[in-house]
Amino acid sequence: MDGMKYIISLFFIFVFLEGSKTEQVKHSDTYCVFQDKKYRVGEKWHPYLEPYGLVYCVNCICSENGNVLCSRVRCPSLHCLSPVHIPHLCCPRCPEDSLPPVNNKVTSKSCEYNGTTYQHGELFIAEGLFQNRQPNQCSQCSCSEGNVYCGLKTCPKLT
């Protein structure tokens, strides 16, 4: 957990140094620009921090005045002996809570991206979403409760 606190601290320093830029586009629509990517007002995402990837313990949102507001996820206190960490989730969970219900596809919100529907927890690659900084990088997205979160990550070489 100390490592995660360090990562989050680095992220907030990065946000402070990078700042958020506001860009006025035709028709007076306001966008936020964060790490060279445009976000619409109200759009939410997890930031990408090299070399760690998506930081699921931080949520960012584009505010109405064009500022990027990021906040740390507050995890609930758990009342179990051995909490488990689940990939792509910030907060640990009790083991009995970590298994999805049998009818998970019915209760979880699906996501739509470029005309394709993805189920909660599903990962997919999005072509051309981010500019690769290295040749072995790709844009990986995940569907989480109706929201699509994407980030640049190192991808295995195809053989």
154 lies in the same domain as 113: yes
Give the pLDDT score at 23.
43
pTM comes to 0.45
17 lies in the same domain as 50: yes
43 lies in the same domain as 61: yes
CA distance 108 to 117: 13
38 lies in the same domain as 105: no
For the chain, the domain total comes to 2
> Which residue type is seen at 92?
P
Looking at the chain, how many residues does it have?
Answer: 159
Last residue of a domain, one of 99, 114, 142: 99
> DSSP 3-state assignment of 44?
strand
24 lies in the same domain as 59: yes
- φ, ψ at 116 (rounded to 5°): -110, 135
Last residue of a domain, one of 51, 80, 99: 99
Give the pLDDT score at 129.
73
Whether the CA torsion 34, 36, 41, 42 is positive or negative: it is negative
92-116 pLDDT per residue, tens? 888 865 445 544 444 568 888 888 8
Domain that holds residue 133: 101-159
pLDDT < 50 regions, the chain: 10, 12-13, 16-28, 98-99, 102-106, 159
- CATH of residue 130's domain is 2.10.70
